[in-house]
Chain A
Amino acid sequence: MSININLDSILEKRGMKSYELAELIGITTANLSILKTGKAKAVRFSTLEAICKALDCQPGDILEYIEQE
């Protein structure tokens, strides 16, 4: 998929664990794992908003478009 999820690097910068973020934004660790591994087909605005609020960042910091051939 050409949309890259940079959640791992932001979590590392903030010194936060995956399960802590999952707990903060109210989703399961399994769903967060789907998002981190790039298996997700879509992200709800409410989830994105919660992630941005919890990590104090912008949607652009999490999602990155990479052109693929």
Chain B
Amino acid sequence: MKSPQLLKLCIDICFIMLIIDVTFSFITYTTFVFYGEPFTVTINDNQKEIADWSFSSGLLILSNFAVLLLSTYAIYLLRKLIRSFFKNSFFTKLQTALFRLIGQLIVLSVILQFIVHFFSTVLLEKRGEIGFSVASGYYISLFILSIGLFFIYLSKLFEKSKSLQEENDLTV
């Protein structure tokens, strides 16, 4: 079976960019925490700006950073998973576990992102907002959530495939 070179390249680039993002976000957040104004931070894909340091804004920043860390960890595990395919061994325990964990991380990050989005509106704009809109990009979140659930399903398929492979190997 041909190795997924292009996929590996895409994931590697994605991982490097996420690492840069994590580093700069960390620097920005710590600068804001220690110096406050005139520094400001933006969360929710630059949609909301936080200018004042308070417990609630700190919590929002922390949650936003947690989403970023979860995504980075998911991409790191995906890199590890893709690399395991290069050894030409399939349906291993590691691959099944990685598929499940990546799926869970993606689902968790989407849920956390939704919570951050909701509470950032409540805390920063002092109003509640819940709804579904095509224009606001909710469908992208739904798509990412589907990808996460698909990964979890894929781990179950890998488990089934492993038992089928074992059966095939033990057929004389």
Contact = CB atoms under 8 A, between A and B. Distances in A.
B125 interface: no
Interface stretch (B74-82, B101-109, B163-171): B163-171
Contacts, number: 23
A9 B170 CA distance: 22
B10 interface: no
Q: Interface size class for chain A?
A: 10 to 19
Contacts of A52: none
Contacts of B171: 40-44
Interface of B: 166-167, 170-172
Interface of A: 27, 31-32, 34-35, 39-44, 47
20 contacts: A27-B172, A31-B172, A32-B172, A34-B170, A34-B172, A35-B172, A39-B170, A40-B171, A40-B172, A41-B166, A41-B167, A41-B170, A41-B171, A42-B167, A42-B170, A42-B171, A43-B171, A43-B172, A44-B171, A47-B172
Given A34-B172, A40-B170, A43-B172, 13 more contacts: A27-B172, A31-B172, A32-B172, A34-B170, A40-B171, A40-B172, A41-B167, A41-B170, A41-B171, A42-B171, A42-B172, A43-B171, A47-B172
